Amino acid sequence: MRASTIMRWVTGLGEAFLAIPFLGGLYVISSGYSLLGVMFVLHIITLILAIRDYSAKSGSVVGLVTSAIAWIPVIGWFMHAVSAVLLIIQAVISHPKRHY
């Protein structure tokens, strides 16, 4: 399994946890919103690995946007859910584009 796929699983499951109503928000608020910064960095790492592997990048880009605007209560929840679904789907079907 490639590093980009592993990171998609990590960030996808992290986003899924943060999308749990009230519980995810409680963790974000109790961390002083620093958890969103950690997720932002993890999405950057995932994006770099995806670029290196010539694989899908949209999940990481949506995750970056999510980390930037997730402090808005209802929009944050919705974006965490969208990011989680997108990243997990990409992790399941990931395969690199081959350039010969």
pLDDT tens figures, 17-28: 999 999 999 999
Give the helix ranges, DSSP H, for 1-100. 3-18, 23-30, 34-52, 58-69, 73-93
Single-letter code of the amino acid located at 52: R
Residues 23, 82: Cα–Cα separation, whole Å: 17
85 within domain boundaries: yes
pLDDT tens figures, 42-64: 999 999 999 999 899 999 999 99
Per-chain mean pLDDT for the chain = 93
User: For residue 100, is pLDDT > 70?
Assistant: no
88 within domain boundaries: yes
98 within domain boundaries: no
CA triplet 52, 86, 20: central angle to 5 degrees? 125
Residues 23, 89: Cα–Cα separation, whole Å: 23
The residue segments making up the domain with residue 42 are 3-93
Task: Report the percentage of the chain scoring pLDDT > 90.
Answer: 85
31 within domain boundaries: yes
15 within domain boundaries: yes
**Where residue 1 falls among pLDDT bands split at 50, 70, 90?**
confident
56 within domain boundaries: yes
99 within domain boundaries: no
User: For residue 96, is pLDDT > 90?
Assistant: no
Number of domains in the chain: 1
7 within domain boundaries: yes
